[in-house]
Amino acid sequence: MVEKATSSYHHGDLPATLVRSAMEMLDEDGDVELSLRAVARRAGVSSGAPYRHFPDRISLLSAIAAVGYRELMAELVARHPEPKTAADLGDLAVGYVEFALARGGLFRVMFAEGCDRTSPDRVAAVEAVHAYLGAAVGRIFETDNPSALATGLWSVVHGLAFLHLDGKLDTSSQQGIRDRVRQAVMALVSAKLA
């Protein structure tokens, strides 16, 4: 269980503390409405303290999303540092959906909340995921446009993540989820044009 900050904040890295506090709130209740005031309270700082680093809610959400993308990337790379087969892609797809289900609140901030599209940290984190997937697709498929194919595959897996997260697909069995995601990806990558 995560302990709440109870003492007043006097030193250290306040932006990181605020982001960490917000992520703890999301992990505890994925439907929590994040506000700068609530995050400040959780971090044990005055309600005005976050505004020194985050001028508005969108800038805080962008910082949270950047951390989420880096954590997602770390999980994918831990599964396969250099994916080389279609089966590896299936494993990555399963990892992506499992991340979404385990960290639903964070996942929604990453993808469903408004973020600052110019936030350097968020942009860099998203680009790292794109580059990783693009490189994997380039190694696995013969294609003139690995970036477009990677985006297409990501879109399918992302859709599967939200279909599971929103209860449109059965989540009663962890193995059932894994099988469904892996089978969907493998069906796509092995399909032949008529």
Of the candidates 181, 131, 140, 144, the residue with the CA atom closest to the CA atom of residue 159 = 181
pLDDT of residue 112: 78
Burial (Cβ within 10 Å: 0-12, 13-18, ≥19) of residue 74: exposed
Instruction: Give the model's pLDDT for residue 11.
Output: 47
Q: What is residue 4's predicted lDDT score, i.e. its pLDDT?
A: 47
Helix axes 86-102, 104-111, angle to 10 degrees: 110
Q: What is the pLDDT of residue 155?
A: 94
pLDDT by residue for the chain (194 residues), tens digit each? 444 444 444 547 899 999 999 999 999 998 888 899 999 999 999 888 888 899 999 999 999 999 999 999 999 999 999 999 999 999 999 999 999 999 999 999 999 778 888 889 999 999 999 999 999 999 999 989 888 898 999 999 999 999 999 999 999 999 999 999 999 999 998 887 87
Cα–Cα distance between 121 and 69 in angstroms, integer?
10
The two three-digit tokens of residue 18, written as one number: 């605020």
**Quick one: pLDDT at residue 96?**
97
Count of all residues that appear for the chain in the document: 194
User: CB-based burial of residue 187 (10 Å sphere; 0-12 exposed, 13-18 middle, 19+ buried)?
Assistant: exposed
Q: For the residues of 46-88, what is the DSSP string, one character each?
A: -TTGGGGT-SSHHHHHHHHHHHHHHHHHHHHHHH-SS--SHHH
Position 191 scores a pLDDT of: 86
Model confidence pTM above 0.75: yes
Residue at 154: amino acid letter: W
Domains of the chain by start residue, with CATH: 7-55 (1.10.10), 57-190 (1.10.357.10)
Residues 6+ away with beta carbon under 8 Å from 89: 83, 136, 137, 140, 153, 185, 189
Written as six digits, the tokens of 97 are 């959906």
